[in-house]
Structures are given as structure tokens and as C-alpha cells.
């Protein structure tokens, strides 16, 4: 079985298991998703979702963020960890959006990664969820599960992204990554994955109950 064939099976299995492929971060506009994703670094999405309602109430627009201070932003995001760095990046990215991008969140990975604190993971999420372009979000769930499946090798996000872009159908890649997050939390956990409950155990390279004839 080729990697593309295995990827196609994985896409269909996860689509059936998790029909609603949605981002686990709560947001109402592109800027909110950009900020929420920056906050999610080394922090759970659940924690971010607890923090952002008050943050976005205080700073409802790009201009309000631009006119704010790092110290005030810090107060709202303190529980997300690395709050000083994140507050600095949020303020700087908002000011760059206003000054360089006319207040509009860019629609390309190349432009997005020019923003302070924005890496390819964040850029892919925005490009995929906001602009509905092919995207591969290589978070910890994606890297872990795709490695176990045999779709990718290594743990470097950029390298894994490149490997997955080569085997995933472009129109499916964004939703596939969202479903990996759900599957990684429920079944294919970092420790003690529940292979017997996995919808991909018949073709997963690492499954303890796989069908050897299809591996």
C-alpha cells in the first residue's frame, strides 16, 4: 500500500468518524483566530477558549488592540502561559497588520509568517479556516498520528507538512487536520493509544490490531 493510498483511507475513516471537522478554538473573525492560535502555543485550546471572551470584549477590533498596551493584554492572557511573549507578539502583529496590510489578515502563508509570533502552523490554520485554501496544520496531534499511520517521518513541523502535502488530497487536508485533533484527544493519545477503538486500525502502521494483509 502506498502512502497516498493509506492517506486516502485515513481521510475517509476520519470523515466518517468525525463528520463535523471544526476548529477547536472559538473565534468570530480572522483576527480573533490569529490571536487565539498564538495564545494556544504550549497551552490547551480549552484554556484559550476560557481566556479569549474577556480579551475580545476589551479589544473588539484591530484598532483597540493597536491602541492598547502590552501590560494590559498580559493581564487578560496571564493563565495561557508565556504571557509576556504572547502579549508582545499580539500587540506587534496587530500594529503590523494595520501598517503593512491595511488592517486585513493576509490570505497566504508567506505573508502571514511575516507577522510577529506567527509560524507556519498558525498561518496554515488561518489560510485553511478563513480562506478555505489547502492547508496542513502540523500540531502535536497531527505529527504523532501521521507518524504512527506511516504517512510522515520525524517531528519537525515544516518537514511533516511537506510530507503530508505530497500525499493528502488538497481539498481534504484542512479538515483532515481538524479531525486528527479530535482523534488524538479521544483515541490516539500520546500515551496508551486505544488501538482497539481506532477507526484506522486496519491500515495503521503502528496499530496493535491491524490487519497484516493491508499494512
Q: Rounded to an integer, what is the distance from CA 83 to the centroid of its chain?
A: 20
Indicate which residue of 45, 89, 139, 175 is catalytic. Answer: 139
Q: Residues 111, 22: contact at Cβ < 8 Å? A: no
Is 121 a catalytic site residue? yes
What gap in Å lies between CA 20 and CA 108, rounded to an integer? Answer: 25
Cell numbers at residue 127, please? 489560510
**How does DSSP assign 67-126, residue by residue?**
TS-HHHHHHHHGGGSSHHHHHHHHHHHHHHHHHHSTT---SSHHHHTTSTT--HHHHHHH
Indicate which residue of 86, 121, 129, 175 is catalytic. Answer: 121
What gap in Å lies between CA 48 and CA 25, rounded to an integer? Answer: 7
Cell numbers at residue 206, please? 503502528
Residue 215, Cβ neighbours under 10 Å: how many? 14
Known catalytic residues?
Answer: 121, 139
Amino acid at each position: 500500500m502506498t502512502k497516498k493510498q493509506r492517506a486516502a483511507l485515513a481521510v475517509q475513516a476520519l470523515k466518517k468518524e468525525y463528520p463535523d471537522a471544526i476548529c477547536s478554538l472559538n473565534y468570530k473573525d480572522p483576527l480573533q483566530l490569529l490571536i487565539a492560535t498564538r495564545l494556544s502555543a504550549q497551552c490547551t485550546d480549552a484554556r484559550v477558549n476560557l481566556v479569549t471572551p474577556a480579551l475580545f470584549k476589551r479589544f473588539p477590533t484591530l484598532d483597540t488592540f493597536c491602541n492598547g498596551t502590552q501590560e494590559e493584554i498580559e493581564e487578560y492572557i496571564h493563565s495561557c502561559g508565556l504571557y509576556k511573549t504572547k502579549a508582545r507578539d499580539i500587540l506587534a502583529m496587530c500594529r503590523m497588520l494595520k501598517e503593512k496590510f491595511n488592517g486585513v489578515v493576509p490570505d497566504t502563508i508567506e505573508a502571514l509568517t511575516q507577522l510577529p509570533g506567527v509560524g507556519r502552523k498558525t498561518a496554515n490554520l488561518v489560510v485553511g479556516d478563513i480562506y478555505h485554501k489547502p492547508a496542513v496544520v502540523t500540531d502535536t496531534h497531527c505529527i504523532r498520528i501521521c507518524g504512527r499511520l506511516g504517512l510522515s517521518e520525524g517531528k519537525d513541523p515544516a518537514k511533516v507538512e511537506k510530507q503530508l502535502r505530497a500525499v493528502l488530497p488538497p481539498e481534504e487536508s484542512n479538515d483532515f487536520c481538524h479531525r486528527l485533533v479530535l482523534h488524538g484527544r479521544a483515541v490516539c493519545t500520546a500515551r496508551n493509544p486505544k488501538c482497539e477503538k481506532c477507526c484506522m486500525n486496519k491500515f495503521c502502521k503502528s496499530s496493535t490490531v491491524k490487519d497484516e494483509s493491508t499494512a
